[in-house]
Amino acid sequence: MSEKQAFQTEVAKLLDIVVNSLYSEKYIFLRELISNASDACDKLKYWSLTNPDIKVKNAFQITLTPDAKDNTLTISDNGIGMNKDDLINHIGTIAKSGTADFVKNIKDNGSAIDLIGQFGVGFYSAFMVANKVEIITRKADDKKAYKWTSDGLDGYTIEDAERKTNGTDIKLFLKEDAKDFTDTVYLRHIVRTYSDHIEYPIVLNLGKAGDETINTASALWTRNKGDITDEQYKEFYHHISKNFDDPWMTLHFKAEGSIEYNALLYIPSTAPYDLFQPDRQQSLKLYVNKVFISDKVEGLMPAYLRFVKGVIDSSDLPLNISREMLQQNALLAKIRQGTVSRLLKELKKRQGDYEDYLKFWNAFGVAFKEGIYEDFSNKEEIAALSLFASTNDDTKLTTLDEYISRAKEGQKAIYYITGDDVPTLKNNPQLEAFKEKGIEVLLLVDPIDEFWTQVLTTYKTFDVKHISAADIDLKIERKDKKADEKNLKQLTDLMTELFKNEVGKVELSEKLTKSPAALNVENGQMSIHLERLMRNHQQQTAFASTRVLEINPYHPLIIKLSEMISDDANKVRITDISRLILDQAKIAEGEAVTDAAFFAEKLSDYLLEAL
């Protein structure tokens, strides 16, 4: 008896997108289904090694059976297979937790190529070429087989079926314009071009003529680099990543010594949508002697390199190792150390081509900088590979070494300022003295910048300091008029009283040139930007910094206010303008004004008066 099931609403929408617009080339479906078959064999191989009750009777293989007469193509494997629940959960449902987000991303961005694979939609590419798809499958630990049937339009049916052994047959009833996929010459070409890296034999069933293995059937990462083409590397990247971009970097090496392992690693050219999601899984597959162990080994790659994809295969790890044992395995720590070291060295080589390296940095730089904070042993090397905006150049990011090469004679520190965005930071009043003296300042705008700067307090022979902690002479040679000291004292006393609930101190500053005032914190305290980040994330702010309103005694506005201070008739006007000055300093620091309505009203009044 067959059981009819409807697709989820999001699945129906997604199927329409997959069939009509997601893939640019129809042959992609074959690569997807072969890749799924390979994964099924991987799972059963590992399951049989860790579960004595599971017996594998035949060598793993993937079989393609074309039928030109009936216009069908069947892709078969003798892998782990599926039971009824698997069919419903993995075939009848597409990524229960993320389908709606996937559809929304397509609508918002007009393309979803770099999201493919994140939501398990590869199987549905079969409907590009098929009017109907039948799956007959039997799970390795189950005696029952099931048949799943769908036309990709109005749901699917599941019914009992017969299959002598474990595995899966996917039969495609091809559309009229897809007859090429029963052509054995064309099938050979597709497999050898796009799936040659699959380590299991891909067998072409030629009927009476017998069977023909049409791929190399060897694990790509174990082969000599000189025998692998760029196209084969790319296709293996597509296979393991489920991405459709080309890799920005490919790193293939064999480590020898106290521990031996093969590694084939990739850095994508585009960032995944979930790069900063807390529950994002690692992207490396761990093999032992070409046996797939897990793709969820947290200790295999540090979090700041979570975008790296690929395979690591070691013969020194035990086959029956559990995930818990992996986390504590000393050999795994050595593999991690070795792979990270090789990746950093390769990035150093690529850093010389600025435009090329910028592609990597724009995609993954924010995540990569987390390593300065997290990876103590490599923090200086990671910092050297990082790029930063600075006051030196509006068009090009800088490295720390380049910064040091431009440092002023006698300069002993790398200075930085943090904020929400570069344009706002560049106009921060606190930079005025640094600009006047020609001292470069890094403009740090990523949340992680607030944290790695607390860990990397020195780089080579230079201290790393926030500009508020600068212990150099920033006084500027002045020829312009300065406000009267007595009047200034009265003005700062008035401002101190006016702003006692917002500002801890009001003091004069010799470091401002163009602005009447700037907002700062006392030396050694949490920056305004970090406090704002913590407040936005509802973090504890019991140690809130003491705000310091710095006044420029040379600014015409401050001079004028100080001259008016002795006349009580000016008190209301001085109060209003002082409030505008504080609000102006807050805006320059990226803070919200205290009373937006007051600010807008008074600003309009004074602008009208000026006209």
pLDDT in tens, 416-457: 999 889 998 998 999 999 998 999 999 999 999 999 999 999
Q: What domains appear along the chain, each with residue ranges and CATH number?
A: 3-216 (3.30.565.10), 222-347 (3.30.230.80), 369-469 (3.40.50.11260), 485-610 (1.20.120.790)
Mind giving me the DSSP string for 550-574?
EE-TTSHHHHHHHHHTT-GGGHHHH
Lookup: tokens for 565:
């201070």
**Contact status, residue 221 vs residue 263, Cβ threshold 8 Å:** yes
| Per-residue confidence (pLDDT) for residue 442, from 0 to 100 | 97
- Contacts of 360 by beta carbon, 8 Å cutoff, 6+ apart: 248, 249, 267, 347, 350
pLDDT at 117 > cutoff 50: no
What is the CA angle 204-209-215, rounded to 5?
25
| Per-residue confidence (pLDDT) for residue 47, from 0 to 100 | 83
| Per-residue confidence (pLDDT) for residue 506, from 0 to 100 | 92
**For range 578-601, the mean pLDDT:** 90
pLDDT at 584 > cutoff 50: yes
* Integer Cα distance of 349 and 353 in angstroms: 9
Query: Minimum mean pLDDT among 312-321, 512-521, 592-601: which range?
Result: 312-321
- The pair phi, psi for residue 382, each rounded to 5°, is -65, -40
pLDDT at 8 > cutoff 70: no
| Per-residue confidence (pLDDT) for residue 65, from 0 to 100 | 96
pLDDT at 161 > cutoff 90: yes
| Per-residue confidence (pLDDT) for residue 7, from 0 to 100 | 63
| Per-residue confidence (pLDDT) for residue 11, from 0 to 100 | 60
**For range 465-469, the mean pLDDT:** 88
Lookup: tokens for 470:
């600068």
* Integer Cα distance of 121 and 243 in angstroms: 12
**Which pLDDT band holds residue 326 (cuts at 50, 70, 90)?**
low
**Which pLDDT band holds residue 116 (cuts at 50, 70, 90)?**
very low
State what percent of residues in the chain have pLDDT above 70: 87
pLDDT at 105 > cutoff 70: no
| Per-residue confidence (pLDDT) for residue 95, from 0 to 100 | 41
Q: At 66, which helix (H) or strand (E)?
A: strand 62-67
| Bridge partners, residue 548, by sequence | 505, 520
SS3 376: helix
Q: Any alpha helices (H) in 456-527, and if so which ranges?
A: 485-498
| Bridge partners, residue 505, by sequence | 548
**Contact status, residue 379 vs residue 455, Cβ threshold 8 Å:** yes
Query: Minimum mean pLDDT among 107-116, 461-470, 530-539: which range?
Result: 107-116
pTM for this prediction: 0.70
Average pLDDT across the chain, whole number: 85
| Per-residue confidence (pLDDT) for residue 92, from 0 to 100 | 58
* Integer Cα distance of 396 and 417 in angstroms: 18
pLDDT at 472 > cutoff 90: no
